[in-house]
């Protein structure tokens, strides 16, 4: 089987259960958004996938091979996150060379080109880079490494709007030239909504949604009207529709619905599309 399979993974830290029986598949050549509130378990999941942390239960396999026991499987993956794997006194230019020794597919020339585009000073020591440039450094590595599975944990942390836009553009350009699996864990959902194809929403260590962005959005809506009209509509919804939240302002009410509401829309009620950020907030609010 191609792709990364996460099977029944659980992880606890003392009295905190960070992941509960998580099962997921990351298919080849797709861009995933891993979305969850602070402390939801995103980083723990990515660290377990890339073998930097060990699960209490469950396993991860890469293209059918258990990742934990196999260097070849591990080298098909690259994770960028705040854990800096390079000696802090190392210069950016030297870090590129070191990466090349671990990942022969790393394209140094491309990394140098990206450094110029981001104005990353390759002569600087990694520890002397600003927060934003630490992220840029990691993104340059991840975009140049050319392995099948790349995990970006908060890739735009500290980046200004120009650099965030540049990062997303380069990611899409790279992906269009040669598709790879990119998993982006982020809080900035509005920005990433147009980049990702698949959405994974994690809440308190459990997977709430794992679906394509388009099908999630097609199957969710907002319905607004007077409180009594909306309440009557909600009580007549078919079993496949789930109200995931509501807002009331004055005498008006909006409900947020996932699933099939059927085609009936009573007069006086307004139905509109829900965006990914709104859906995320409603699903993860409690």
Ligand X SMILES: Nc1ncnc2c1ncn2[C@@H]1O[C@H](COP(=O)(O)OP(=O)(O)OP(=O)(O)O)[C@@H](O)[C@H]1O
Identify which of residues 81 and 222 has a Cβ nearer to ligand X in the complex: 81
Identify which of residues 38 and 101 has a Cβ nearer to ligand X in the complex: 38
Identify which of residues 14 and 264 has a Cβ nearer to ligand X in the complex: 14
Tell me how far CA of residue 59 lies from CA of 43, 80, 104, 155, in angstroms: 16, 21, 27, 26
**C-beta of 41: minimal distance to ligand X in Å?**
4
Q: Are the beta carbons of 257 and 244 closer than 8 angstroms? A: yes
Contact positions with ligand X (CB under 6 A) in 42-81:
42-44
Contact positions with ligand X (CB under 6 A) in 14-43:
16, 18, 36, 38-43
> Is residue 176 a contact residue for ligand X (CB under 6 A)?
no
**C-beta of 43: minimal distance to ligand X in Å?**
3
239 three-class SS:
coil
DSSP E strands in the chain: the ranges are 4-13, 16-26, 31-36, 57-62, 65-66, 77-80, 149-153, 181-186, 198-203, 206-212, 220-226, 241-249, 252-259, 270-273
12/38 Cα distance (integer angstroms): 16
| DSSP result, 117-172 | HHT--TTSBGGGS-HHHHHHHHHHHHHHS--SEEEEESTTTT--HHHHHHHHHHHH
Binding residues for ligand X, total number by CB under 6 A: 11
Identify which of residues 83 and 252 has a Cβ nearer to ligand X in the complex: 83
**C-beta of 208: minimal distance to ligand X in Å?**
13
Identify which of residues 41 and 225 has a Cβ nearer to ligand X in the complex: 41
**C-beta of 188: minimal distance to ligand X in Å?**
11
> Is residue 203 a contact residue for ligand X (CB under 6 A)?
no
> Is residue 186 a contact residue for ligand X (CB under 6 A)?
no
Q: Are the beta carbons of 127 and 92 closer than 8 angstroms? A: no
Query: Distance between the two ends of the chain, CA-based, in angstroms?
Result: 37
**C-beta of 16: minimal distance to ligand X in Å?**
5
Identify which of residues 164 and 203 has a Cβ nearer to ligand X in the complex: 203
**C-beta of 91: minimal distance to ligand X in Å?**
28
> Is residue 189 a contact residue for ligand X (CB under 6 A)?
no
**Residues forming the site for ligand X (CB under 6 A):** 13, 16, 18, 36, 38-44
């Amino acid at each position: 089987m191609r792709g990364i399979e996460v099977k029944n993974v659980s992880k606890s830290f003392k009295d905190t259960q960070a992941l509960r029986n998580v099962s997921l598949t990351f298919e080849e050549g797709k861009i995933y958004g891993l979305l969850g509130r602070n402390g939801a378990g995103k980083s723990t999941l990515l660290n377990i996938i890339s073998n930097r942390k060990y699960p209490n239960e469950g396993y991860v396999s890469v293209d059918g091979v258990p990742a934990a026991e196999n260097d070849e499987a591990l080298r098909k993956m690259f994770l960028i996150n705040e854990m800096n794997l390079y000696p802090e006194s190392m210069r950016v230019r030297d870090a590129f060379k070191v990466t090349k020794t671990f990942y022969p597919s790393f394209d140094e020339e491309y990394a140098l080109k990206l450094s110029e585009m981001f104005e990353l000073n390759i002569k600087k020591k990694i520890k002397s880079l600003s927060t934003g440039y630490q992220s840029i450094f990691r993104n340059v590595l991840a975009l140049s490494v050319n392995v099948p599975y790349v995990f970006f944990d908060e890739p735009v942390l500290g980046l200004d709007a120009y650099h965030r836009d540049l990062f997303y553009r380069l990611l899409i350009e790279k992906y269009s030239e040669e598709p790879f699996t990119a998993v982006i864990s982020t809080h900035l959902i509005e920005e990433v909504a147009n980049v990702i194809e698949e959405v994974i929403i994690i809440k308190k260590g459990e997977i709430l949604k794992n679906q394509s962005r388009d099908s999630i959005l097609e199957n969710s809506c907002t319905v607004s009207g007077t409180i009594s009209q909306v309440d009557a509509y909600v009580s007549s919804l078919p079993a496949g529709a789930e109200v995931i939240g509501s807002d009331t302002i004055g005498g008006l009410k909006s409900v947020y619905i996932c699933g099939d509401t059927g085609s009936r829309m009573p007069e006086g009620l307004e139905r509109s599309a829900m965006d990914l950020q709104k859906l995320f907030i409603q699903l993860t609010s409690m």
